[in-house]
Structure 1
Amino acid sequence: MSTGQHRPTVRPATGEDLGDLQALARRTIDTCYRGFLGDEAVDWFIGSGASDAHVKTHLERGGVHCLTQDGRIVGFSLLDGSTVDLMMVDPDHHRRGLGRLLLRHAEETLLARYPSIRLETFPDNTRAMSFYGACGWVLGDRLEGEGPAKVEYTKGGTAG
Structure 2
Amino acid sequence: MTIRPYDAARDADACLAVWRDASRAGHPFLGENALAADAVLVRDVYLPKAEIAVAEEDGRVVGFVALLGDIVGGLFVDPAWHGRGIGRALVLHAAERKGGLAVDVYEANTGARAFYRRLGFVEKGRQETDSRNRPHPLLRLRRPG
For 2:64 and 2:57, the matched residues in 1 are separated by: 12
Deviation at 1:65, TM superposition (A): 1.2
1:98-113 paired onto structure 2 within 5 Å = 98-111=86-99
TM-score (norm 1): 0.80
Query: How many equivalent pairs are there?
Result: 140
Residue ranges of structure 1 left out of the alignment (5+ in a row) = 1-7
Q: Distance in 1 between matches of 2:46 and 2:36?
A: 19
**Paired residue secondary structure (1:87):** strand
Tell me what 1:5 maps to.
none
Matches within 5 A, 1:78-117: 78-111=66-99, 116-117=100-101
* 2:123 matches 1:139: yes
Deviation at 1:137, TM superposition (A): 0.9
2:26–2:109 contact (8 Å) kept in structure 1:
no
State the one-letter code of the partner of 1:127: G
Larger radius of gyration: 1
Percent of aligned pairs with the same amino acid: 27
Tell me, in whole angstroms, the C-alpha distance in 2 between the residues paired with 1:55 and 1:79.
15
**RMSD value, Cα:** 1.5
Match of 1:18, as an amino acid? Answer: A
Query: Structure 2: any 5+ residue segments left out of the alignment?
Result: none
Out of 124, 132, 149, which is 2:108 matched to?
Answer: 124
